[in-house]
Amino acid sequence: MTGQQILIVDDEARMLRVLEIMLQKMGHDISCASNGMEALQSLQETPVDLVVSDLRMPGMDGIELLNQLRAQGNNVPFIIMTAHGTIQSAVESMKLGACDYILRPFDMEALELSINRILATGRILRQNDFLRRELEKGWEGFIGESPAMHKVYEQIRLVAPNKTTALITGETGTGKELVARAIHRASPRRDKLFVPINCAAIPADMLESELFGYEKGAFTGAHKERIGKFELAHGGTIFLDELAEMPVALQAKLLRVLQENVIERLGSNRSIPIDIRIIAATNRDPQAAIAENRLREDLYYRVNVFSLELPPLRDRKEDIPALIHYFIAEFSKGSSSMPKITEDALSNLQQYAWPGNVRELRNVMERAIVLSGGKQLDMTHFPLGANATKEKAPLQDNLSFDGMSLNCAIETLEAKMIAAALHNTDDNKTKAARLLDISERSLWYKVKKYHLE
């Protein structure tokens, strides 16, 4: 058991020095205080794994120090050192929550034994605590034990410690933002800000000032200076969601930020150095977005240093029951009872294709719990569309373009994609149009054209 932080408190400078050397030899990091007040102060600034304190000290004695710590809710393990004559007080200190006492004059071996025992139990307790929290919440708030999700967890752990820029891809609702937050939390930047920016939600002409900030008078309406999200995220992480929706000109500017680590506010030519980690996400296929000139290829290569692709829910159906139970618990929090769900409903939900992935499942569960009024959940509470709950026969995928003109091939492919989108959304034209990223009107037109009614 080495490498722990220990604070020694003793008013006798020589004793302090001897202990310091001994404990350092055991491989620990030692800090010292010569009285109770100093110890309290030092603990406030730097928490430690263990306090070893003398009992008799002028001013605040060891028992009072222990008392104050416990009153502050600080449960740091505490060993009290005491001379033979004051054994009664030592017993008193145990009642107050000291973990052990050592009688003076002591041999080093006894102290070492005591320290090792206490640090070991402390570690087990902390581990238990950690494991319990993990079990309750799932890893970093994720639910899912499928191999596909474990691969995601592994990748998060892998990429988190470095400043590496990461690109998260995956269909809508697969958990891209959850992953971005998890990377931040698992990184050394966790104490700094995580600043999310949804490039699709902010009007294109405002995105630049949102990111870079501006000086007073930079443009009409800029009445006073404003710092941008890049500056705000300094030391932390910025999450650029829906990166492919960022105007291409701004993408070029972003690339410069990534290469030079400086920004200039709008209306200023002063370079401000920034230290940020960038995580980007898109639910488009990046290659297709590049082909359509929505995403700059050079930016793509720069952010895609590490890429993480989230699996759609339909490819990890084994996670669906756990997610359902998790959302039931979440949405019935605060009410007296937790609704149960029928086997039938559960298996139906597990078969559904979930085009909107976990987000859709979450919304469906929330609505069902409201509908059921806290009672048992059955299929009537899940209006997923007439045949939505049955696994549909896969569409034929044996298109052959042999001998076709280009136009004819394009139309064949177009018709197939539209049919698939309608199939996956239970003929919901709004959703299908969104999936295909075309207007609803143009979808109606094409449905007629290809007789897909």
Residue 94 CA from chain centroid, whole number: 40
Write each residue from 128 to 147 as x if it is in contact with ligand ATP (CB under 6 A), else as -, in one continuous string: --------------xxx---
CB 167 within 8 A of CB 306: yes
Query: Which of 357, 406, 361, 358 lies closest to 382, judged by CA?
Result: 361
Pick the stretch among 55-63, 172-180, 225-233, 347-355 that binds ligand ATP (CB under 6 A).
Answer: 172-180
Residue 384 CA from chain centroid, whole number: 30
Pick the stretch among 59-67, 171-179, 208-216, 385-393 that binds Mg ion (CB under 5 A).
Answer: 171-179
User: Number of H helices and number of E strands within the chain?
Assistant: 18, 14
Among positions 172-201, residues that touch Mg ion (CB under 5 A) are: 177
CB 166 within 8 A of CB 310: no
Q: Which does 174 bind (CB under 5 to 8 A by kind): ligand ATP, Mg ion, none?
A: ligand ATP
CB 156 within 8 A of CB 183: yes
Q: State the helix-helix crossing angle for 320-331 and 357-372, rounded to 10 degrees.
A: 50
Write each residue from 245 to 284 as x if it is in contact with ligand ATP (CB under 6 A), else as -, in one continuous string: --------------------------------------x-
Counting contacts by CB under 6 A, is residue 173 touching ligand ATP?
A: yes
* Alpha-carbon span 298 to 60, nearest angstrom: 64
Q: Is the previous residue joined to 105 through a cis bond, with omega within 30 degrees of 0? A: yes
Taking CB under 6 A as the criterion, the residue among 185, 192, 234, 359 binding ligand ATP is: 359
Taking CB under 6 A as the criterion, the residue among 36, 77, 122, 170 binding ligand ATP is: 170
Taking CB under 6 A as the criterion, the residue among 29, 38, 140, 177 binding ligand ATP is: 177
Counting contacts by CB under 6 A, is residue 148 touching ligand ATP?
A: no
Counting contacts by CB under 6 A, is residue 189 touching ligand ATP?
A: no
Q: In terms of C-beta density within 10 A (0-12 exposed, 13-18 middle, 19 or more buried), how is residue 115 classed?
A: buried
Counting contacts by CB under 6 A, is residue 174 touching ligand ATP?
A: yes
Which is it for strands 213-214 and 226-227: parallel, antiparallel or unpaired? antiparallel
Counting contacts by CB under 5 A, is residue 359 touching Mg ion?
A: no
Pick the stretch among 89-97, 257-265, 358-366, 431-439 that binds ligand ATP (CB under 6 A).
Answer: 358-366
By beta-carbon proximity to ligand ATP, the closer residue of 317 and 359 is 359
Which residues in this chain contact Mg ion in the complex, by CB under 5 A?
177
Which residues in this chain contact ligand ATP in the complex, by CB under 6 A?
142-144, 170, 172-178, 283, 358-359, 362
